[in-house]
């Protein structure tokens, strides 16, 4: 056990993963400063579904996304997109980070930010082309922000900023999307716009994984749900999984033993 947290990775063989699934996670454990925040995650997503990830604060929801996208190192386990690693499949994965993760006073217009979604297709050292601009404008239009294309991003409201981030992900034109709390602190108009957008993506057979906070809207918005609290409590179709009992298991009562064990591992590793 201690070997895993000391950094040696145990990579899974490829046959642990379903090559048909847009996202399959096998036996993934993630630690921050040696303190495990996600334990033994196993999850296989069904294509074309809207998947909500819910759980209390500190349950590791954002970490789940970041570990899938190689943004934080995994202590163990592996993640595959259609049977291939993230490195091979970058082009088909889109990402919407939390809105607070960037400085919105940055000198850029909404269009500039959305154009960044196209950078993956533009060769290094070359400026964006005309068609990238038009693609970005179209994405802005899809989130109802075409009128604000040239506005400086700090002059947009929180909801509008969130829509700009979504438009940037749309510009990536991915098969599977990861969205970190897109509904956090947005106005009603933006929430509605995001829902429409999610449905449209799902209709085009895109898979979307959304970290979500508002339990009330989960059954309305998501086909599948992942209940997460340091480990996966339950995952599957919303109508089956989203039950009072599972929610109680996820939210009720801190997982004191798991938490203590994590502290102990961190303590053992501390200098």
Partner 1 sequence: MVNRRANRLRMVWAAVWVALLGCTPIADAADGHRVGFSSVIASGVPVSGMLASGGITDNSVSFPSWDKIFRALTLRDYNTRIVVIGATLLGAAAGVIGTFAYLRKRAMLGDALSHATLPGIAIAFMVVGHKNLGWLLFGAAVSGTLGVLAVIGMRRVSRIREDAAIGIVLSVFFGIGMVLFSIIQQMNTGGESGLQSFIYGKAAAMLHRDAMLIGGTAFAVIACCAVMFKEFRLVCFDQTFASSMGRPVFWIDVLMMGLVVLTTVTGLQAVGLIMIVALLIIPAAAARFWTDSLLLMTVIAGGIGAFSGWMGSVLSALLPRLPTGAIIVISTGVVFAFSMIFSPHRGVLAGVYRRWSLSHRVAHQNLLRALAECEEDLAAEVAIPIADVHAKRFWSRRHLDRLIARGSRLGLVSQIGPNTLKLTETGRRESRRILRNHRLWELYLIRYADIAPSHVDRDADEIEHVLAGDVVEELERELEQESTIPPSPHKADESRSKGVPA
Q: Which of 10, 19, 122, 264 binds partner 1 (CB under 8 A)?
A: 122
Residue labelled with tokens 């303590």: 267
* Residue whose structure tokens are 């579904």: 49
Answer for which of 69, 92, 241, 266 binds partner 1 (CB under 8 A) is 69
Which range touches partner 1 (CB under 8 A), out of 6-14, 111-119, 209-217, 240-248?
A: 111-119
**Counting Cβ atoms within 10 Å, is residue 28 exposed (0-12), middle (13-18) or buried (19+)?**
buried
Q: Smallest distance, Å, CB 270 to partner 1?
A: 11
The answer to whether 112 contacts partner 1 (rule: CB under 8 A) is: yes
Q: Is 37 in the site for partner 1 (CB under 8 A)?
A: no
Instruction: Give the residue with the Cβ less far from partner 1, 100 or 214.
Output: 100
* Binding of partner 1 by 90 (CB under 8 A): yes
Minimum distance from residue 164 beta carbon to partner 1 (Å):
11
Of positions 124, 188, 244, 253, contacts partner 1 by CB under 8 A:
124
Give the span between the Cα atoms of 109 and 126, in whole angstroms.
19
CA distances from residue 195 to 126, 218, 225, 254, 256 in whole angstroms, order as listed: 35, 11, 16, 31, 36
Nearer to partner 1, 26 or 118 (CB): 118
Alpha helices in the chain (DSSP H): 2-5, 61-68, 86-89, 110-115, 130-142, 158-171, 188-203, 218-221, 238-241, 244-251, 256-269
Q: Taking CB under 8 A as the rule, which mask of x and - marks residues 138-177 in contact with partner 1?
A: --------------x---------------x---x-----
User: Between 106 and 134, whose beta carbon lies closer to partner 1?
Assistant: 106
Does residue 217 belong to the site contacting partner 1 (CB under 8 A)?
no
**In this chain, which stretch among 76-84, 98-106, 235-243, 254-262 interacts with partner 1, using CB under 8 A?**
98-106
88: region left, alpha or beta (phi > 0 left; psi from -120 to 50 alpha): alpha
Q: Which is nearer to partner 1, 100 or 239 (CB)?
A: 100
Give yes or no for residue 221 binding partner 1 (CB under 8 A).
no
Residues in contact with partner 1, total (CB under 8 A)? 30
List, in order, residues 6 or more apart from 109 with CB less than 8 Å away. 149, 150, 151, 152, 153
Distance between CA 9 and CA 77 in Å, rounded? 7
Q: Which of 35, 41, 27 is nearest to 232 (CA)?
A: 41
Residue 266 touches partner 1, criterion: CB under 8 A: no
Q: How far apart are CA 145 and CA 41, in angstroms?
A: 37
- Interface ranges with partner 1 (CB under 8 A): 66, 69-71, 87, 90, 93, 95, 97, 101-103, 106-109, 112-113, 116, 119-120, 122, 124-128, 152, 168, 172
């Amino acid at each position: 056990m201690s070997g895993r947290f000391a950094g040696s990775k145990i990579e899974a063989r490829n046959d642990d993963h379903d090559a048909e699934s847009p996202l399959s996670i096998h036996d993934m454990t993630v630690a921050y400063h040696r303190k495990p925040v996600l334990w033994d995650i196993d999850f296989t997503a069904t294509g074309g579904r809207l998947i909500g990830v819910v759980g209390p604060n500190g349950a590791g929801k954002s970490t789940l996304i970041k570990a899938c996208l190689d943004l934080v190192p995994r202590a163990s386990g592996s993640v595959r997109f259609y049977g291939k690693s993230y490195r091979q499949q970058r082009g088909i994965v889109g990402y919407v980070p939390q809105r607070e993760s960037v400085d919105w006073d940055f000198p850029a217009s909404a269009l500039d930010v959305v154009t960044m979604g196209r950078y993956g297709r533009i060769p290094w050292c070359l400026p964006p082309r005309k068609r990238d601009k038009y693609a970005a404008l179209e994405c802005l239009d899809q989130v109802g922000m075409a009128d604000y294309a040239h506005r400086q991003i700090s002059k947009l409201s929180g909801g509008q900023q969130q829509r700009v981030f979504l438009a940037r992900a749309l510009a990536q034109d991915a098969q599977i999307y990861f969205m970190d709390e897109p509904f956090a602190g947005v106005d009603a108009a933006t929430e509605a716009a995001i829902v429409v957008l999610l449905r449209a993506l799902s209709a085009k057979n895109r898979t979307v994984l959304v970290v979500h906070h508002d339990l009330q809207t989960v059954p309305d918005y998501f086909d599948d749900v992942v209940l997460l609290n340091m480990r996966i409590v339950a995952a599957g179709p919303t109508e089956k999984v989203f039950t009072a009992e599972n929610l109680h298991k996820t939210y009720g009562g801190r997982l004191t033993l798991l938490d203590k064990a994590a502290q102990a591992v961190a303590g053992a590793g501390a200098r």
